[in-house]
Amino acid sequence: MRRLRAECPWDAQQTHRSLVKHLIEEAAEVTDAIETEPVSDADLREELGDLLMQVYFHAEIARTQNRFDIEDIARGICDKLVARHPWVFGGEDDPDDLDGAWERAKQAEKQRSSVLEGVPDSLSALARTMKVVSRSRAMHLDVAMADDPISADEVGQQIIALVQRAQACGVDPDQAARGALRALEDQVHESEL
């Protein structure tokens, strides 16, 4: 990567911001490689390599700006995983609530006052909703949530049916989901008070 940044005109002009679209694309290609049946080890290995190259690319940009390097990134993730797994690395007993323990450790480490802090704004409405619901449940917040049993096939079919119904009625389902998500986030904030 150092040589590419030094000798390739395209690589040399890239910035963190200019690479975002490539980072998103490579993550999507990893997802495709995982979700395409049958999973091809060769495809998955290649796509994971492309995603890892994005990490190296960003690390090299930062290194040349004297901010951090790939070793700092690796050390940071190792330290984080050790700190967030005291039942593995610290001799503690396995917690009864792994999700809750993870979220509490993360919230304390990052000094967050809300479970909503750190949920990426750039996630799709559906992915962001899943993250908000997951964190709210893990932290046992007093927010009413549906929990009727449902299969993965039913979820997929019902989401598609809702999109079809929304389109037939002139409703933008993504916009509607964002509006409903904002209402859920308000409920989460109220429950945290």
Tell me what pLDDT residue 35 has.
Answer: 95
Q: How many CA within 13 A on the CB side of residue 5?
A: 17
Tell me what pLDDT residue 130 has.
Answer: 96
Tell me what pLDDT residue 103 has.
Answer: 85
pLDDT at 58 over 90: yes
Q: What b-and-e string marks burial along 155-190, b requiring 16 or more CB atoms within 10 Å of the CB?
A: eeeeeeeeeeebeeeeeebeeebeeebeebbebbee
CATH C-level class of 2-82: mainly alpha
Beta strands in 1-72 (DSSP E): none
80 sits in which H/E element:
helix 70-83
Tell me what pLDDT residue 193 has.
Answer: 87
C-alpha span between 137 and 193 (Å, rounded): 16
Q: Domain residue spans in the chain? A: 2-82, 93-192
pLDDT at 63 over 90: yes
The amino acid sitting at 120 is: P
Taking residue 33's Cβ as centre, other Cβ atoms within 10 Å add up to: 19
C-alpha span between 166 and 162 (Å, rounded): 6
C-alpha span between 161 and 157 (Å, rounded): 6
